[in-house]
Chain A
Amino acid sequence: MMTTNKYAPLFLALLAVYSQFAIAEEPPAIIASSVDVSEEDYIGEVPAVLTVSRLSQSIADAPSAVTVIDRETIRAAGIADLPEIFRLVPGFYVAANAGFVHNTNHVVSYHGMATAYAGAMQVLINGRSVYSPLYGGVQWSELPIAIADIARIEITRGPNAASYGANSFFGVINIITLSPAEQSGASVSAMLGNGRHKAFARYADKVGDASYRITAGYRDDEGLDNRNDFKRTRLLNGQVDYRVDNKNNLEFEFGFASGQREEGGLQFDPYIFLPRTKGIENNFELIRWRHSISDNSDFSLQAFHSYDNSNDNVTSANLRPVVTDIFTPIIGPVAAAAAGASLLQDTVSINKDVTTERYDIEVQHTFTLSTTLRGVWGGSLRNDTVYAPHYLGSNKKDNFDLQRLFGHAEWRPFAAAVLNVGAMVEHNSFTGTDISPRASLNFKLNPNQTIRFGVSTAQRTPNYLENEFNQGVVIPRTAPNPPLLAQYFSDAHNLKPERIVSKEIAYLADFGQLTLDTRLYYDNIHDYIKSVVNSSFAVPGFIVVKNPRFFMNAGDVTINGFEAQAKWRMQDNTNLLLNYARVHISSDELQTAFNITKSMPRNTISALLTHRFNPQWDCSIAYYQTSAVAALGDGNDVGSAQRTDARVAYKFNAAHLKGEVSAVVENLFNEHYQEFADYNTLKRRARVNLRLDF
């Protein structure tokens, strides 16, 4: 575990400068009451508020199951890592520090096929897609975003390619940050916990018609016991909303993150990919123009660029004794010793650098044709480039292009019914052109209760890992001995997209104090992409010492189950959020993947109870329970797990000092349970947070 931090003084200095800057601000203007009110204050034009969403719909009208996690829930859950919040979404499986390639990353997986590299979800931050082209998943801890800046998270449970495009296969996570116009002043916060530190500073203000926010942050985490999973992140992000006039808004966003991640583990690989620390760095820039064409029609144009780099150079252990040991049972001790001696060098060095870059431009047009018909349509162009010499077996940058057109209409044939239909047409460099249609009917039994019938389809384009990997390690030897080749992946480049057809019946109710969101679903996945070992792998001139895996389209997988979410306002100051999900996966495991039917806990329960004693004090208790699971992709059998988190917070609001101090105990009863795989043991961890607002 790494404990030293050479950047801490620098960061503290930054914080100090920052807070001085904030304190030096002029005192807030006292409103003069002598100004006369003019008629303009009553009848003057007000700029339309152009929302972030494609087609803003209430949950009762939406074509799929949507869970909204608001700011207050995020605060009450007391999370330290963003992906932890998804434990409060029915059907999600979340696990800390899974996998043995991205040791520090969370698994966030919805309703099946949990893997360390879960790549079947679209993840957006303010409409910007952040999943990696390399393996389709998200490096959660590397996102340059502060939890405190998040306004809400909308999670679509189920495929929604028609609205959100590529990778919207199992679900969509849409993270929406606060508009800078909603924030003002400075805020600094710090967290001190077992093996964890965090410090954040934010400043928001207005200059004329522009509101802006800048957030800087630092966090580190030693990770779990017996895992090489320290992580450290520094981040900076900014957002500017500029109101050009009543009809036009320009928004700019940028973010930057850098840091270190530990990788490797002797229990997984004591020979080549040894424990080490890699550097990570990413940034993005985004510009969005929103234009109100009329009262009934809005247009937006968004363009962004993102860049992601991990700097990872590995030097193996001394391979001579390793080779000797491996060959001894096969060719006898004498020849094996000669094989060991034949290596050109003791070690091999591997350049595991990965650089990905994304350019994306998107237009959309939202319109209302009548009180019963409205819609959205648009299109986007994307270019991903990947430079990953070790994984792709080439020093060249590889290009992936994606174009799509999407449309979605909402029609109310009569007051109690909402019909949603939509489709996306996508063309990409790997699998050509596909279409993903969807349709749903929401029927209101009465103003409080809705029944929804839906069918949605999506395609999942294979990612680089599945389609393009050619990952091997060559161990050169002295002439005339042919070099040894350990091949990890050797993809066949011939995959079809995975297809999902999801059918559901949902019942939604809103009785004021109690809201319910329940659904039964039946999903069929066709052309499931699985990895298999190529045991006949051969390369002329090499001795293959490890047979690679490659990906192929295999049989069908069926996932069905039940999900429920209840929000109960027990009293004015007491709220309960309760989630339950039951998942059943069936498949022919010879055709698909071993353990696939166990790749999601059969039952998951989560609950969040919050109580406010008075304006100063509040507390919350979170409870998470999962039954046994055997995750795919680096996972293995783990038993059922229970975890209880407790949080207590005190808000203070004195004349010159406002803020909050809170304490969180994660895993209160110190259950030593395993998550994702038997190598991840979770224990009790506590932390205190302090936030000051100026």
Chain B
Amino acid sequence: MLLNQHKNNGLKRRLATLMLTLGIFMPILAQAYNSVTIVMSAPTPANLAFIDQFKTELANTKNNNLSVKVMELPETGRLVVAENSELVIALGTKALEEASKLKHSTPVMGVFIPHPTFNSVLVKSHRDRGNFSAIVLDQPFARQMTLIKIVLPELNKLGVLLGPISSQYGAKIKEKAEDSGYSIFEENIKQETDLMPKLKQLLDVSDALMAIPDPHIYTRETAQPIILTSYRYQKPIFGYSQSYVRAGALAAVYSSSKQLAQQAAEIAIKSQQAPSMLPPLQAPKYFSIMVNYQVGRSLNIPLMEESVIYKKMLEAEPTELEEYEPI
């Protein structure tokens, strides 16, 4: 608790690493867990694939005795788990919200969580970052820019549309863009009717559109006009999901359920003895890419094989994962 109350996260992490490395770490207040409860709001294919892979990962790892329980969120009433000896993995926003109401000593890790949502749940629940963490869905901006660089090395003007939710990342995107040698052109969308005119203004000046998730900009409803308009301007879109690529974006970097499960399993095993020392909020460690060759052809963009692009991306990955600034 002493450590957790510490305001300096960097120091806290360093101390935790030090103690783990020295093997002198002992549970202070929270007990080590011996089982994992995966909570989900519905058995979606993504969630089921996650659970499957998570179990496989545990089974393939020696020296762990973690058992796995799976439960769906109860429709009414509170979520009940064995709060003192479990790691709760919450799949999705709803599950995380419910899990945040558990006893504060219960370690909770969210998966399939948008970064802005994690922050708001954290604030609302007054939980502590030490045992309340997540693997967010947001890919590191630098990784997205690496993909763009590999696919279109000559491009340098990136357009981004920022909405009420994603506007908080404006500065961060600019910072990362500077590192990657990109100029960022941004348009802020304040009302729905701004979307198309601002998109057109943006496409006028930029070489490509880098999609930053925001529920007010990239929706099922806006996908068609955004993709059609960009196509009309002959400018590619770099998306953040497979479905956006299928719909008409040129390429995207994303993490599959299995990849998220692998990362989650690693954390579950590693933190078993130190449940109040979950690693801080993490970006997805493992990722995939998807390229729409049809779109590439329509825009006359020669594209390398997906596997070649992926290999180049792995080479460009920094050794340290992107860590998000706390609010």
Contacts and interface: CB of A to CB of B under 8 A. Distances in A.
Given A39-B112, A46-B244, A56-B298, A51 B231 contact: yes
A275 to B, nearest CB: 44
Interface in A47-63: 47-49, 51, 56-61
A184 interface: yes
A182 B297 contact: no
B232 interface: yes
A60 B299 CA distance: 10
A43 B231 contact: no
Interface stretch (B11-19, B29-37, B81-89, B185-193): B185-193
Interface in A263-286: none
Contacts of A31: 163-164, 189-192, 216
A38 B224 contact: no
Interface string A357-392: 000000000001001001000000000000000000
Contacts of B164: 31-33
A39 B93 contact: yes
Contacts of B232: 70-71, 151-152, 182
Interface stretch (B66-74, B114-122, B175-183, B309-317): B114-122
A137 to B, nearest CB: 29
A19 interface: no
Contacts of A48: 246-248
Contacts, number: 140
Contacts of B229: 182
A181 B246 contact: no
A33 B214 CA distance: 10
A252 B123 CA distance: 49
A427 interface: no
Interface in B205-247: 213-216, 218-221, 223-225, 227-229, 231-232, 240-244, 246-247
Q: Which of A29, A47, A206, A209 has the most C-beta atoms of chain B within 10 angstroms of its own C-beta?
A: A47
A655 interface: no
A209 B190 CA distance: 22
B296 to A, nearest CB: 9
Contact of A179 (B46, B137, B218, B225): B225
A241 B221 CA distance: 12
Given A49-B227, A57-B298, A58-B299, A42 B216 contact: no
A280 to B, nearest CB: 32
A45 B215 contact: no
Contact of A43 (B46, B190, B297, B298): B46
B261 interface: no
B99 to A, nearest CB: 14
A46 B92 contact: no
Contact of A38 (B92, B241, B298): B92
Contacts of A61: 297, 300
Q: Which of B116, B137, B190, B223 has the most C-beta atoms of chain A within 10 angstroms of its own C-beta?
A: B223
Contact of B248 (A43, A49, A59, A183): A49
A28 B191 contact: yes
Interface residue SS majority, chain A = loop
B1 interface: no
Given A49-B223, A70-B232, A42 B137 contact: yes
Contacts of A43: 46, 112, 137, 241-243, 254
B165 interface: yes
B211 to A, nearest CB: 11
A243 B224 CA distance: 10
A185 interface: yes
Contacts of A185: 193
B281 to A, nearest CB: 15
Given A71-B232, A510-B300, A29 B241 contact: no
Nearest to B165: A37
Interface string A491-513: 00000000000000000001010
Interface in A300-353: none
Contact of B243 (A44, A56, A184, A241): A44
A512 B165 CA distance: 35
A173 to B, nearest CB: 18
B293 interface: yes
A653 B224 CA distance: 26
Q: Which of A28, A181, A415, A447 has the most C-beta atoms of chain B within 10 angstroms of its own C-beta?
A: A181
Contact of B228 (A36, A49, A206): A49
A206 B196 CA distance: 13
Contacts of A47: 220, 223-224, 247
B247 A46 contact: yes
Given A42-B137, A368-B294, A37 B213 contact: yes
Interface of B: 46, 92-94, 112-114, 116-117, 120, 137-138, 154, 163-165, 189-193, 196, 213-216, 218-221, 223-225, 227-229, 231-232, 240-244, 246-248, 254, 293-294, 297-300, 302, 305
13 contacts: A29-B191, A30-B190, A38-B215, A42-B240, A43-B46, A45-B243, A46-B220, A49-B231, A179-B224, A183-B196, A185-B193, A371-B293, A512-B154
